[in-house]
Structure 1
Amino acid sequence: MLVRLMYASRATESVDPDTLLAILRKSKAHNPTIGVTGALCFSSGIFLQVLEGGRGAVSHLYNAIAADPRHRDVVLLSFEEIDERRFAAWSMGQVNLSRLNPALLMKYSETSTLDPYVVSGRVSLALFDELVATASIVGQP
């Protein structure tokens, strides 16, 4: 059974581009072995991530993330059974914030700042859907 999980968390320490790249590389190496796909957005110390795959694999990965001391304020935004993946092309795609139109954020939020703590999980997933549609998610499978 496939599931989709979306969560938000705050980084406990500064995340520079090299650290983010290391996180993405580790995800891209590990996720295919457990059948997990998804996308990651990081901005202003906030992670917003979608994970898709088998229920056990996604739950295990989420629990590991929630227990990771590099994350705080971990919030489950959405968890649902799905018929098909939305992010099947990415072992872990990354939102290219340089291509992110602030008007897109304004469409779903009170401000043009990414803050999944002030919107619903449904709204955050709709934002990810538009990011896919506008090619704002980059990365190799």
Structure 2
Amino acid sequence: MNTTHQAFGDEPHAGPGLRPLYQVVYCSRASEGLQDSAVDRIIATSRRHNPQRGITGLLVYGSGIFFQWIEGPRDSIEELMGQLRRDPRHHDIVTLAETEEVRERLFPDWTMELVQASDIRDVLVDARDTANDAHSVEALTLLLEQLDAGLLGAMGAH
């Protein structure tokens, strides 16, 4: 895991003049024949480019499904989502949540972290349990409910 914390200037403890933090949570289907090496390249590229864009988040991949939670400045996230929509490595993008608010980052230390599908529930529970604002707790609780109800496919099956 990438554990170097970077202040992006949009976190509540960063001082006055806070910018809202925009987040998008989506899932998509991997293209036929996608190799693990392609997923590794996605993570490597994200870790190189996300810090300069002020983007943090996590990517879960399992059973042919991507699940991603990204957060940062609206313009950076919208630009990234445009790139993701054109990426041939996946299709059928479904936005699960999209919000903009002044709040703490949920994954401040992760420029992009690959989480195994079997671990997604633990990651979401940990993020919920350490979140300090009600909106983040609510969003994470909803995702956990969707995961437990089977609405996110085979991801996190237990």
Equivalent residue letter for 2:75: G
Q: Any stretches of 5+ residues in structure 2 without a counterpart? A: 1-19, 126-143
1:77 aligns with 2:118: no
1:68 aligns with 2:87: yes
C-alpha distance after superposition, 1:63-120 (max 9, x if no partner):
1101222221111111101312101110001113465679x989712488218xxxxx
1:95 aligns with 2:115: yes
The answer for the alignment partner of 1:30 in structure 2 is: 49
- Matched pairs, number: 114
The answer for the alignment partner of 1:49 in structure 2 is: 68
SS in 2 for 1:29: helix
Whose strand fraction is larger, Structure 1's or Structure 2's?
1
1:3 aligns with 2:43: no
* Residue pair 2:120, 2:155 contacting (<8 A) in 1 also: no
Q: Any stretches of 5+ residues in structure 1 without a counterpart? A: 116-141
TM-score, scaled to structure 2: 0.63
In structure 1, what is the Cα distance between the partners aligned to 2:88 and 2:53? 22
In structure 1, what is the Cα distance between the partners aligned to 2:67 and 2:116? 13
In structure 2, what is the Cα distance between the partners aligned to 1:9 and 1:60? 18
TM-score, scaled to structure 1: 0.70
In structure 1, what is the Cα distance between the partners aligned to 2:120 and 2:94? 23
Compute the RMSD of aligned alpha carbons: 2.7
In structure 2, what is the Cα distance between the partners aligned to 1:91 and 1:44? 24
Query: Which of structure 1's runs of 4+ aligned residues deviate more than 6 A?
Result: 104-107
